[in-house]
Amino acid sequence: MTRQTVTNRLRTAEQLIGRSLGECDTALIVALELEELGRVPIPPHSLP
Amino acid sequence: MEPEEPVRDVEYLESLTTTVHAGVQYGVEVLAVGEERAAGIPVPAIAQARLAARHRIPLETVLHRYLAADKKLAAFVLEEAAGVDPSDVLAAMTAQGTAFQRLVAVVTEEYVREAGARPATHEARRVERARRLLAGETVDPGILDYELDGHHLGLVASSAAARPLIRKLAGELGCRSLILAPSSNELWAWLGGAREPVDPAAVRERLAAGGDPMLPIGMGVPKSDSKGWRLTHAQAQRALWVAEAKSAPVVGYDEAALLSTVARDPTLTASLHEKYLLPLSTGPDGGRVLRATLRTYFKAERTAARRPRPSA
């Protein structure tokens, strides 16, 4: 994966959330960790 | 029953004194009015029997004290018997003997009942004492053989099998330790220092390298004195939940505090999901790749933030 690919994905995530990662990193990290720990439902169609 | 140890508990020593006074009064009353008309067995004697059981004083020792008191009282009666009708002396001595038998029976019964209600092993008694101290009770911590006034770092594991690992860790760090297993599914430990706290980074490093994801350990934040002893334990318990969920050998409270708190709040959890995860659930894979990229990105940022900066 190239650096540009990663940058593009991060920009896409920011656009979908509607905020920059710097603005919401703590809440986003917690949300992602909660999902990882099975404390929130995994979004539909996202199972491998 | 374990061998008798010196009892330091003020409550026990005071009860002993109170019982001697009450016992002598009871004996004199029995001599004066007879066993049947005297008041019942003194309450302090019953309380002291229970307390003796709790302090692991052998029953023989408790009963020997009563026997010694009975002999002393009998000797006193005989000394004072000169000039008294022998039949009155005999009646008094008989009443005293009956009262003594009843006293021994009651004390034995109370002692045995209390001993039966107590934890059976030394380890169980240590756990019970730690539980009471954690609950904020003012009880003698002596049985723990661990100084509560110093510095503490709490560790909690979900299996007693973690004991050798933590014991080895304490040995390597050269620190004091208190390790208790309330059950096969729980291990509490405190690593202590008299002058300075144990370095949590060193503990984390060693557990991360030598620990076992099958034996996850939660680690608190270094704290001091008995209040801190309780707090670092509570923190370690919170961190353990995250360590278990992540199957990580060790997780510290500093990294688990927010997560374990939010996870307990269903409203907040649902809100975070709605606000941050649902918008990412786009595309044919439901946003799986996006979320994986974000996780990797944040993990790399965290690692970089932890890395020591080169000195100028």
With respect to residue B274, please indicate whether it lies within any of the assigned structural domains.
yes
Can you give the pLDDT at residue B311? 57
Of A28, A36, A46, the CB nearest to B276: A28
Can you give the pLDDT at residue A42? 52
Query: Which helix (H) or strand (E) element contains residue B178?
Result: strand B176-183
Which residues in chain A are closer than 8 Å to B277, comparing Cβ atoms?
Answer: 31-32, 35, 40, 43
The model's pLDDT over B185-236, given as tens digits with 9 standing for 90+, comes to 899 999 998 788 999 999 999 999 988 889 999 999 999 999 999 999 999 9
Domain that holds residue B198: 142-263
From A46, which residue of chain B is nearest by alpha-carbon distance? B286
With respect to residue B137, please indicate whether it lies within any of the assigned structural domains.
no
For residues B273 and B253, membership in a common domain is answered with: no
Query: Which helix (H) or strand (E) element contains residue B74?
Result: helix B59-79
CATH code for the domain of B176: 3.30.70.2730
pLDDT, mean of residues B109-125: 81
Determine the distance in angstroms separating the CA of B158 from the nearest CA of chain A, rounded to an integer: 17
Can you give the pLDDT at residue B20? 83
From B284, which residue of chain A is nearest by alpha-carbon distance? A45
* Contact status, residue B276 vs residue A17, Cβ threshold 8 Å: yes
The model's pLDDT over B257-276, given as tens digits with 9 standing for 90+, comes to 998 888 888 888 889 999 99
Q: Is the pLDDT of residue B301 over 70?
A: yes
With respect to residue B134, please indicate whether it lies within any of the assigned structural domains.
no
Query: Which helix (H) or strand (E) element contains residue B16?
Result: helix B10-33
* Degrees, nearest 5: CA angle A34-A36-A37: 65
The model's pLDDT over B83-107, given as tens digits with 9 standing for 90+, comes to 788 888 888 888 888 888 888 888 8
Number of domains, chain B: 3
Q: Is the pLDDT of residue B151 over 50?
A: yes
Determine the distance in angstroms separating the CA of A16 from the nearest CA of chain B, rounded to an integer: 6
